[in-house]
Chain A
Amino acid sequence: MNLLYFPSLLGFLMGLSLGYKVKFEGKLAALTLTLGILIAYSLKSYPFYNIMGLNFSFVYFSSLIGALIGTRWYKGKGRKRWSISKMQLS
């Protein structure tokens, strides 16, 4: 595996753990992804991280993908757990 993918992997995991906390409507995912691709292209790749010769920020994009997947996770298990803890405290 190319070591330059490591920050993208880390970014994905960090995005997942933060996106898990966000309530997000699924219909906005396409808009978010489009904006994310535009921003990642504008940011360009980091020096020393030019993967496959593409001038594209894979770290940013993978973080966004991680956050988006994390929000899906929120919809399932997370929300259930949240409502339980709310009931216990009230």
Chain B
Amino acid sequence: MELERNKEERLIIAGITLTIVGVLLLSTLKDVPGILNPGVSRLYNILGPRIAPNQITMVVFDWRGYDTLGECLVLVCGVLATSLIFGRGMLTSLKHHSSLSRSEFGEEVKPTPILDFFTPVIILLLIAFGIYITLGGHITPGGGFQGGSIIAAAVLLSLVVYGREKIIRWEHESRIRWETAGVLIYIGIGIAGLYHSGHFLYNIGADLYEVVGSGISYYFHYPDTTNAGVLPYLNIAVFLKVAAGLSTLFLVLLEVDER
């Protein structure tokens, strides 16, 4: 009854909102020629080589850094939803054993000698490879997401071969710390850019528009021969977040079967 009474008011509010949005959208149309000419791609091509040799990283982290932050938050939401639906009590329970270390008859399953011998070696090689991919993100195809996924693959390998908590000891609290540190570093760099230039995630290390003082720029400039600025640090932030987030996801999903 009350809904019926307020129907007219709600329609009026909806109408006003739609009018405002419509006017704003139409007003942007007159600026479109200015945006299309010289064109975003051309702009990328002119400015891109002055920041990082790998233009994909430059676009993903520098000009679309907001979008990348959103993608990372999607992963956080994914981990959160999976943990809530499947993993109640699994993350903190140390008594709980993985279904993978037991057969369907409840017997303890041990890895074969070959797996037992080579798995720790491969895990260490994978860890080094994940870091290598992350630290080269601004000059070659790769970056934090890929590097973090490789670390999570190392965790998955240990879970598949040995079951939970046999070879990689990565507590839930530690994973939370890693993930939080990743997000805080990313947002911190973004806010530093906002503070110094007025734009969130402005690359204060590269400082293409020379709006940041050289003193500040020096501290945020990644010390190599490229002008990547804060991009490698953002890569490391994403690496921390993805490595911890995906590992948590694997831990939860691998134990679903037992429940």
Contact = CB atoms under 8 A, between A and B. Distances in A.
A7 B224 contact: yes
Interface string B115-150: 001001101110111011011100110000000000
Chain B interface: which size bin? 35 or more
A11 B236 CA distance: 10
Contact of A64 (B92, B125, B169, B222): B125
A47 B138 CA distance: 11
A3 B224 contact: yes
Q: Is the interface of A mostly helix, strand, loop or mixed?
A: helix
Interface in A20-50: 21-25, 28, 31-32, 35-36, 39, 43, 46-49
Given A43-B132, A47-B140, A23 B120 contact: yes
Nearest to A64: B128
Given A63-B131, A67-B128, A4 B224 contact: yes
Interface string B137-177: 00110000000000100000000000000111111001000
B127 to A, nearest CB: 5
Contacts of B95: 90
A63 B132 contact: yes
Interface in A42-90: 43, 46-49, 57, 59-61, 63-64, 67-68, 71, 74, 78, 82, 85-86, 89-90
B131 A48 contact: no
Interface residues of A, number: 42
B223 interface: yes
B139 A86 contact: no
A59 B53 CA distance: 18
B125 A36 contact: yes
B107 to A, nearest CB: 23
5 cross-chain pairs, A with B, having the tightest CB-CB distances, nearest first: A64-B128, A63-B128, A63-B131, A3-B223, A60-B132
12 contacts: A3-B224, A6-B224, A7-B135, A18-B127, A19-B124, A22-B169, A28-B117, A39-B129, A43-B132, A60-B129, A67-B124, A78-B169
Interface of A: 3-4, 6-7, 10-11, 14-15, 18-19, 21-25, 28, 31-32, 35-36, 39, 43, 46-49, 57, 59-61, 63-64, 67-68, 71, 74, 78, 82, 85-86, 89-90
